[in-house]
Amino acid sequence: MAIFVEQLLNALALAGLLFLVSAGLSLVFGILRVVNFAHGVFYMLGAYLGFTTVAVSGWFWPALLVVPPVVGVVGALLEASTLRFIYRRPPIYQLLLTFGLALILEESVRVLYGPTAKGIDPPPLLEGAIGIAGTLYPRYRLFLIVLSLAVGAAVWLFLQKTRSGLVIRAVAQNSEMADCLGADIARVRTWVFGAACALAGLGGVAAAPMTTAYLGMGIGVIVDAFVVVVIGGLGSIPGSMAGSLIVGAAQTWGAYYLPETAMVIMYAVMGAILIFRPWGLFGEEE
Amino acid sequence: MNGPRALALAALAALAALPWVLARHQLSILTDLLIFGLFALSLDLIMGYTGMVSFGHAAYFGLGAYGSALVLVHSGQPVPVALLAGALLAGVVALPVGWFSTRATGIYFAMLTLAFAQLLYTVAYKWRDLTGGSDGLAGVPKTTLFWGGPSLATPHAYYFLVTACVVLALLLCRALVRSPFGRALQAIRENERRFVALGRAARPFKLVVFVIAAALAGLAGALFAPFRGFASPEVMFWVLSGQGLMMVLTGGIGTLIGPILGAMVFILIQEVLSSYTEHWMIFSGAVFVLMVIFLPGGLVGTARRLVTRA
C-alpha cells in the first residue's frame, strides 16, 4: 500500500511536469498550427535561467516568478522575427524552422553555461519529506503536483472565462473567420507562442530542483511531450492532461516493475491507443 | 544531348577521376559526403515524393551501421554481405514502425517517427551485450569485395564501392519515382483524400516506400560503419535525423539529386565552421533558419527556377 501511494504520487508529479510542457505545445498547435520543436529547449532555458536567478538572489521563489516571463519574451521575439513570415507555407517548413531555432538555443546555452549540469536546491520550506499513508514522501514533489494543478486550472479558466481566452478559442476554431470579425491574428499568435514558452520555462524552473539543469533535458522532455500530445490529441488542453497522466503512470510503474524496458511500456501504451484513436483521445481528425 | 544528361555524365566522369586528383584525406571527406548524400536521398523519397516527413530517419541509418558492424566484427564476411545485412535490418525494423506511423499523417507522423527513433536509440544504448552500449562497436574492418576477392581497405577501393552504391541507389530512386508506383506516391503527396476517394488505399503505398527509404538509409549506415571503423548510438540520435531534413531542404525537396548535393554542402559548411569555432551548431542553425525563410526550394529548386525564368 505504502509503495502504491508512493508510486502514485511519483506518477502525478511527473505528469504535472509533462503537463506544463505539453499544454503549451498543444496550445501553440491549436493557434499557430505549428509543432514547435524548440519547445523543449525553452523548458531547458527555464531551468538554466532558474539556476542563475537562484545563484544571484539566493532564493528559489523569485526564480519561479521571474523566469517564466523572461522565457516567454524570448519566445515571443523569436516568433515575431522568424515564424511569422512563413505561416502560409506547408507545415513542414515551420517544423524545420523551429528545429533550426532549437539548435541555436541549445548551443547558446552550452556556450553560456558550459557542459556540466547545474543543480538548484529546493526552497527550505519544501525540503525534506512528509509522512503520507505510512510512507515518507519528498515535499517538493507534492509541491509540483499542486503547482501543475493550479497552473492547469488557471489556463483553463483563462481560456474559458476571459475575453482574451474567447478570442484565442475563436482563432483556434477558425482563424479566417476570427480575422474577419476583427481579431488581430498576428498579435494572438505572438502572445500565445510567448505564453506557451513561458509555461515551458515554468516547467523547467520547477523541474530543476528535482532533475538539475542539464543539456539535453530539452530533447528528453520534447519527446515525452510529443508522446503526450499524440495520446491526448494535439490542440486539446484536456487531452494534454489525460496524456500526461497516462505517460506519467506508464513511466513510473514501468520503471518500477520493468526498469530495463520502461521506455518500451510508454510506446506500447501509445501504440495501443493509436490503433483505436489515430488522432489521440481528445483530438479531431485533421 | 540535352542539358541534364550532359551534366549527369560530367558528374560521373568527375566522380571517376577525382580519386586521382584528390589528396588522401580529401578523398576520405568525399567518401563521407557521398555516404550522407545517400542518407539524404533516402529521406527525400518519403519526404519529397510522398509528403511523409520523418523525424526519425537516423534510426535506420544507425540500424544499418549496427547491422553491418555486427556482421563484420563477428564473422568477417565480405563487405557486400554486411551491406545487405544492414539494409535488411533497417527495412525489417521499419516495417512495424511504419505500420504504426502510417496510421497517422502530417505532423502526427513526424512525431511518431521521432518517438520510435528515440526508442531505438535507447535500445542501442542499453543493450550493452550486443551493441557495446555508449562505447559502441569499434574496430569494424573493411574486409573484401567477395569471398577471396580484393581487399577494400584502401581509400580508393572503398571510395569506388561507396560511389557505386550511391549511383545505383540514385538510379533506383529515379526509376521508382517515375514508375506507376512513384506516380501514386506523388498523388498521395498532392492530395491524399482525393487519392482515397478515387478508390485506392494510400497506406500500403506509404508503408512500402517507408520501408524502401529505411533500407536505403540502412545501406548508407552499413557503408558508414566500416568506413569510420565504428558504430555508436550517436549515429541514431535525433540530431542526425534533423540534419537529414536540413540536407534535403538545403538541396531541394523532391529532386533526388538535390539532397545528395545538399548533404555535401551541409557537411562542408559544417567542416568549415567547425574549424573556426566549436560552437558551429549556432551558425548552422542560423543558416538553416535563413534558408527556410528565404530559399524554400533549396539549391536545385532555386537553380531550376532561375533557369526556367532565363
ipTM (interface pTM): 0.82
Do B246 and B288 touch, CB atoms closer than 8 A? yes
CA of B198, closest CA in chain A: separation in Å? 19
Closest CA to B68 of B202, B277, B241, B222: B222
Nearest chain B residue (CA) to A94:
B292
SS3 category, B149: coil
> Taking CB atoms and an 8 Å limit, are A226 and B288 in contact across chains?
no
Q: Which helix (H) or strand (E) holds B241?
A: helix B238-251
CA of A1, closest CA in chain B: separation in Å? 31
The DSSP annotation for B210-231 comes to: HHHHHHHHHHHHHHHHHHHTEE
pLDDT at B99: 92
Closest CA to B217 of B109, B107, B66, B111: B66
Q: What residues of chain B lie within 8 A of the CB of A229, using their CB?
A: 111
Provide mean pLDDT across the span B251-264: 90
Q: Express each pLDDT in B18-61 by its tens digit.
A: 888 888 888 988 999 999 999 999 999 999 999 898 989 999 99
Do B273 and B283 touch, CB atoms closer than 8 A? yes
Domains of chain A, residue spans: 2-215
Q: How confident is the model at residue B67 (pLDDT cuts 50, 70, 90)?
A: very high
CA of B164, closest CA in chain A: separation in Å? 31
Rg (CA), chain B: 19
The beta-carbon neighbor of B114 closest among A107, A226, A271 is: A226
Q: Express each pLDDT in B259-309 by its tens digit.
A: 999 999 888 888 888 888 788 888 888 888 888 888 888 888 888 888 887
CA dist A4 and A6 (Å) reads: 5
Q: How confident is the model at residue B1 (pLDDT cuts 50, 70, 90)?
A: low
Provide mean pLDDT across the span B127-150: 81
Q: Is the pLDDT of residue A101 over 60?
A: yes
Sequence-distant (≥ 6) Cβ neighbours of residue A255 within 8 angstroms: A262
pLDDT at B163: 93
CA dist A115 and A144 (Å) reads: 27
> Angle A171-A175-A177 (CA atoms, 0-180°, nearest 5)?
110
Q: How confident is the model at residue B119 (pLDDT cuts 50, 70, 90)?
A: confident
Sequence-distant (≥ 6) Cβ neighbours of residue B7 within 8 angstroms: none
What are the angstrom distances between the C-alpha of A36 and each of A31, A178, A180, B228, B264? Answer: 12, 23, 26, 34, 27
Residues of chain A with pLDDT > 70, as a percent, come to 99
Interchain contact B107–A (C-beta under 8 A): yes
Provide the grid cell at A239. 487531452
Buried b (16+ CB within 10 A) or exposed e, B164-194: ebbbebbeebeebbeeeebebbebbbeebee
Closest CA to B288 of B269, B272, B275: B269
Q: Specify the DSSP class assigned to residue A118.
A: B
> Taking CB atoms and an 8 Å limit, are B286 and A226 in contact across chains?
no
The beta-carbon neighbor of B282 closest among A37, A108, A234 is: A108
Q: What residues of chain B lie within 8 A of the CB of A89, using their CB?
A: 296
> Taking CB atoms and an 8 Å limit, are A103 and B282 in contact across chains?
yes
Sequence-distant (≥ 6) Cβ neighbours of residue A219 within 8 angstroms: A40, B238
Closest CA to A153 of A237, A226, A72: A237
Q: Is the pLDDT of residue A286 over 70?
A: no
The beta-carbon neighbor of B114 closest among A92, A223, A263 is: A223
The DSSP annotation for B13-65 comes to: HHHHHHHHHS-HHHHHHHHHHHHHHHHHHHHHHHHHHH----S-THHHHHHHH
Cβ atoms within 10 A of the Cβ of B26, count? 13
